[in-house]
C-alpha cells in the first residue's frame, strides 16, 4: 500500500535511487558544524533518508543524527551543541541496511585508541564475509550497515597512528568506498582503489581544508584549489597541514561510476576532471547523431535531462522547450493524499504545459529507465496534452543488471530491460519510438574509452560480486 505521496514517488521512480553524500572539515576557530550543514544541504540530492554530523573539540566527539532531510534533522539549537575544529557529516540513501534510525550515519564508537566516527558513500561486496569474521571474534553490531563493519575493522586495527590503522584496513575492503573518518584531532578522507564513488578536497578561506562527495558542495562553503581525492589515497586534515598518502595502489582498470555523469552528480560538479553539465549536453548530442529524427520540439524530463535536451536541440536544430513542470516538494510531503489523488499518480509530481506539445511531434529526453513505472505515465501525460507523436530518447544504454557498488537500481526481477526487449519497452511506455544511447556513444560523450564501471549496462563487473546481495541482507540474516 502506498501510504503517502513520498512513498509514491520513491517506490515508482524510473531513476536509480541516490547514493550518499559525505563531508569532512578542518576549520580552526570557525563553526564547523554549520559549514557541514550547508555542505550537506548541497549534497541533499544524494540521499534524503537520514543525516548526521559529528564534531570533535580535541577532547570528545559530539554527534547529532536522525531520519529525514538535512533541514528536518538540524536546527540552530542542536547545531550550537556541536562545537570544535574537526567534523564529518553524512546524508543517506540506504544501499546496505534499511532506512531506519540505527542505520543513520556517522557511526561513533569508543576504541582503545580513542573515539572515531565514520561516514561512508559506497558499498562493500565483501561486507558479509568481514562481518561474519568479526562476529566470530566476539564483535557486536548495533546496525545492519556495511559502514559499521568498516568502523569495527578500524577499531581493531594495529598501528601507532590512525594513518597506519587506516592503511592496514584499506586492503581488506573490496568494493566502493569514499569515506571520511573523524578522530579527536583529525579528519581523514579515503577512496577505494577502483575510484567508484566521487570525493574531492579543497582549501577553505580560513586556511583549513574540506572534503566532500562533490566539488559543488565545497564551492558552497567557499573552497578553492579543489581537486579529486585519487583512488587509493588517504588524505589527512589536521593542524599539521594537509597530508596525502598513497595507501593502496590504484587498480590498473579504474571503475568510476558512469551514472555520476548521467544522473547523480549536480551539473556544476567536476567528476573525473569533467564538468558534469558539459558531459550531459554531449550525451544529448550523441543521441541525435546515433539516430536522427524529424520532430517539432525537444522536451526534457527534469531535472538531470535538461542539459541533454539542450544538446539534442543544438545538434538537431529542433527547438527546445519546457514540457514538464515538476513539483519538487510533493516527494517530501508526509501528508497522505486521498484515494482520488493517489489515483492521479504521477500527476502529483508533474504537470504538462499543453501549449508546448499540442499538435507537435515531440522528442522526450530522459536519463534512464530502470523499473519502467513512471516513464509510461509521463508519455501518457504528453499524449493527453495533444502530442501527435512521442519519440522517447534515453541518455544511457538499457539498465539490465543490478549495481553492487552503492546504487540502488533494483534486482534482475525489477529491471525492465532485463525482462523486455527494447521494442517491448517501447510498447510498454506507449511511445512511438524508443532509442537508448549505446555504450560506445555514451563513452564518446564522456570522452573516455575506459576507466569507468558500466556493469549495470553490460553485466561485466570490475570485481567478483555476490549476485544474491540485497540491501536488507543483514536484516534477513537476523530473522532467519
39-96 pLDDT, tens digit each: 999 999 999 889 999 999 999 999 999 999 999 999 999 999 999 999 999 998 754 4
Instruction: State yes or no: pLDDT of 480 exceeds 60.
Output: no
The arithmetic mean of pLDDT across residues 360-387, rounded, is 95
User: Which residue intervals of the chain bear CATH 3.40.50.2020?
Assistant: 275-458
Per-residue pLDDT reduced to its tens digit, 269-301: 999 999 999 999 999 999 999 999 999 999 999
The structure's pTM equals: 0.90
With 90 as the cut, is the pLDDT of residue 244 above it? yes
Question: In percent, how much of the chain has pLDDT > 70?
Answer: 88
pLDDT digits (tens, 9 = 90+) for 191-216: 999 999 999 999 999 889 999 999 99
Note the pLDDT of residue 4.
Answer: 40
Question: How far is residue 18 from each of residues 46, 188, 263, 418, measured CA to CA in Å?
Answer: 5, 24, 9, 21
* pLDDT tens-digit readout, 108-126: 999 999 999 999 999 999 9
Residue range 275-458, CATH number: 3.40.50.2020
Q: What confidence category does residue 391 fall into, taking pLDDT thresholds of 50, 70 and 90?
A: very high
Whole-angstrom distance, CA of residue 326 vs CA of residue 302 = 7
| Residue 422 pLDDT | 97
Given a cut of 50, whether residue 479 has pLDDT beyond it is: no
* pLDDT score at 477: 41
Task: Give the span between the Cα atoms of 316 and 302, in whole angstroms.
Answer: 20
Q: In degrees, to the nearest 5, what angle opens at C-alpha 136 toward C-alphas 131 and 140?
A: 65
Q: Confirm if 215 and 269 have CB atoms less than 8 A apart.
A: yes
With bands split at pLDDT 50, 70 and 90, how would you rate the model's confidence at 10?
very low
Q: How far apart are the first and last CA of the chain?
A: 25
pLDDT for res 331: 56
Say yes or no to pLDDT of 15 above 70.
no
Give the closest residue to 196 by CA, choosing from 428, 403, 335: 403
Mean pLDDT of 389-407: 95
10-14, 413-417, 463-467: range with lowest mean pLDDT: 10-14
What average pLDDT does the segment 131-139 reach? Answer: 85
Q: Greater confidence, 477 or 312?
A: 312
Question: What's the pLDDT at 137?
Answer: 80
Neighbours of 26 (CB within 10 A): 28
Least confident of 89-93, 261-265, 396-400, 415-419: 89-93
Fold of 5-255: 3.60.20
Q: What mean pLDDT is predicted for residues 135-149?
A: 79
Split at pLDDT 50, 70, 90, the class of 409 is confident
Question: What are the catalytic residues?
Answer: 20
Q: Which residue has the higher pLDDT, 134 or 410?
A: 134
Share of the chain above pLDDT 90, in %: 75
pLDDT, position 55: 98
Please give the pLDDT value at position 13: 59
Every domain of the chain with CATH number 3.60.20.10 lies at 5-255
**29's grid cell:** 576557530
11 — pLDDT class (breaks 50, 70, 90): very low
333 pLDDT band (50/70/90 cuts)? Answer: low
Amino acid at each position: 500500500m502506498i501510504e503517502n505521496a513520498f512513498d509514491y514517488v520513491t517506490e515508482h521512480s524510473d531513476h536509480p535511487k541516490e547514493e550518499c553524500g559525505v563531508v569532512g572539515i578542518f576549520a580552526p576557530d570557525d563553526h564547523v558544524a554549520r559549514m557541514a550543514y550547508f555542505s550537506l544541504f548541497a549534497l541533499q540530492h544524494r540521499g534524503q533518508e537520514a543525516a548526521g554530523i559529528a564534531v570533535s573539540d580535541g577532547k570528545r566527539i559530539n554527534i547529532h543524527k536522525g531520519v529525514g532531510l538535512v533541514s528536518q534533522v538540524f536546527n540552530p539549537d542542536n547545531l550550537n551543541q556541536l562545537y570544535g575544529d574537526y567534523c564529518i557529516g553524512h546524508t543517506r540513501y540506504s544501499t546496505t541496511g534499511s532506512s531506519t534510525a540505527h542505520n543513520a550515519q556517522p557511526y561513533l564508537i569508543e576504541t582503545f585508541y580513542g573515539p572515531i566516527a565514520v561516514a561512508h558513500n559506497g558499498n562493500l561486496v565483501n561486507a558479509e564475509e568481514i562481518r561474519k569474521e568479526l562476529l566470530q571474534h566476539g564483535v557486536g553490531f548495533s546496525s545492519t550497515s556495511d559502514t559499521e563493519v568498516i568502523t569495527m575493522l578500524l577499531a581493531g586495527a594495529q598501528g601507532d597512528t590512525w594513518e597506519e590503522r587506516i592503511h592496514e584496513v584499506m586492503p581488506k575492503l573490496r568494493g566502493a568506498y569514499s569515506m571520511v573518518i573523524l578522530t579527536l584531532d583529525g579528519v581523514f578522507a579515503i577512496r577505494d582503489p577502483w575510484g567508484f564513488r566521487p570525493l574531492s578536497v579543497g582549501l577553505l578561506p580560513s586556511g583549513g581544508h574540506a572534503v566532500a562527495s562533490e566539488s559543488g558542495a565545497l564551492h558552497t562553503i567557499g573552497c578553492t584549489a579543489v581537486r579529486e581525492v585519487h583512488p587509493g589515497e588517504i588524505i589527512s586534515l589536521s593542524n599539521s597541514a594537509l597530508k596525502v598518502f598513497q595507501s593502496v595502489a590504484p587498480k590498473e582498470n579504474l571503475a568510476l561510476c558512469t551514472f555520476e555523469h548521467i544522473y547523480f552528480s549536480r551539473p556544476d560538479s567536476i567528476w573525473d576532471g569533467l564538468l558534469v553539465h558539459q558531459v550531459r549536453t554531449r550525451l544529448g548530442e550523441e543521441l541525435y547523431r546515433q539516430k536522427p529524427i524529424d520532430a517539432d520540439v525537444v522536451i526534457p524530463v527534469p531535472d538531470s535531462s535538461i542539459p541533454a535536451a539542450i544538446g539534442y536541440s543544438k545538434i538537431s536544430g529542433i527547438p527546445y522547450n519546457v514540457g514538464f513542470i515538476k513539483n519538487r516538494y510533493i516527494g517530501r510531503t508526509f501528508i497522505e493524499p486521498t484515494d482520488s489523488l493517489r489515483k492521479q499518480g504521477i500527476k502529483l509530481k508533474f504537470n504538462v504545459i499543453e501549449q508546448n506539445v499540442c499538435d507537435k511531434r515531440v522528442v522526450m529526453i530522459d536519463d534512464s529507465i530502470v523499473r519502467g513505472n513512471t516513464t509510461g505515465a509521463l508519455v501518457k501525460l504528453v499524449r493527453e496534452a495533444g502530442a501527435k507523436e512521442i519519440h522517447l530518447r534515453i541518455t544511457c544504454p538499457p539498465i539490465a543488471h543490478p549495481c553492487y557498488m552503492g546504487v540502488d537500481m533494483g534486482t534482475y526481477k525489477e529491471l525492465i530491460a532485463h525482462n523486455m526487449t527494447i521494442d517491448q519497452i517501447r510498447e510498454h511506455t506507449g511511445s512511438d519510438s524508443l532509442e537508448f544511447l549505446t555504450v560506445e556513444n555514451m563513452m564518446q560523450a564522456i570522452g573516455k574509452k575506459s576507466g569507468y564501471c558500466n556493469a549495470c549496462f553490460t553485466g561485466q563487473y570490475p570485481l567478483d560480486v555476490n549476485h544474491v546481495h540485497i540491501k536488507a541482507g543483514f536484516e534477513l540474516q537476523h530473522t532467519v
